Amino acid sequence: MKVPGCPLCDGAGGALVFQGSAFRLIRADEAGFPAFYRLVWNEHVAEFSDLSRSQRAVCAEGLATVELALRSVLAPTKVNLAALGNLVPHLHWHLIARFADDSHFPSPVWAAPQRAALPERLAAIEAQLPALEALMLARLSALSEPPEPGARA
């Protein structure tokens, strides 16, 4: 079900990396945080508990897959996961690769900056995004493919 006026029902919500039947992954346009992604549940629901048990498992597996890709390619200091939804009550998760030298670390990305962003550091992260997103796409696509005939579930 789509809800008119909901920005995550009306559009992708960012640069589309993956589109599946249950959720999509987008890269958000967040200044100073090039590796800021959102996993957006396609159906308009407000809370994780609105999902069925099997849908929650699909969502959790998608989150873990994205987090593992972020860790594998970027080796961040930490990956932040957040599902706030206060302004946009459509289930979505923020997945943000954080680095000890980013402008806000160790505070949340929504807090006041601790230091100036380093343009050369941001450029180095941005240069890795094509490889990161290719890996995310491959792994998320493999999750959503039906099993081969005769394969064990």
Domain locations along the chain: 7-143
Q: If DSSP codes are grouped into helix, strand and coil, which group holds residue 114?
A: coil
What CATH code would you report for 7-143?
3.30.428.10
pLDDT at 11: 87
Pair type for strands 92-98 and 78-82: antiparallel
pLDDT at 87: 83
Sheet hosting strand 78-82, strand order edge to edge:
15-19, 23-27, 36-41, 92-98, 78-82
pLDDT at residue 148 in the model: 55
Torsion sign, CA atoms 52, 54, 55, 57: positive
pLDDT of res. 130: 98
Pairing of strands 23-27, 92-98: unpaired
Q: Tens-digit pLDDT profile for the chain (153 aa)?
A: 789 889 999 888 899 999 999 999 999 999 999 999 999 999 999 999 999 999 999 999 999 999 999 999 999 999 999 998 788 899 999 999 999 999 999 999 999 999 999 999 999 999 999 999 999 999 999 987 655 555 444
Q: Decide: pTM greater than 0.85.
A: yes
What does the pLDDT read at residue 153? 43
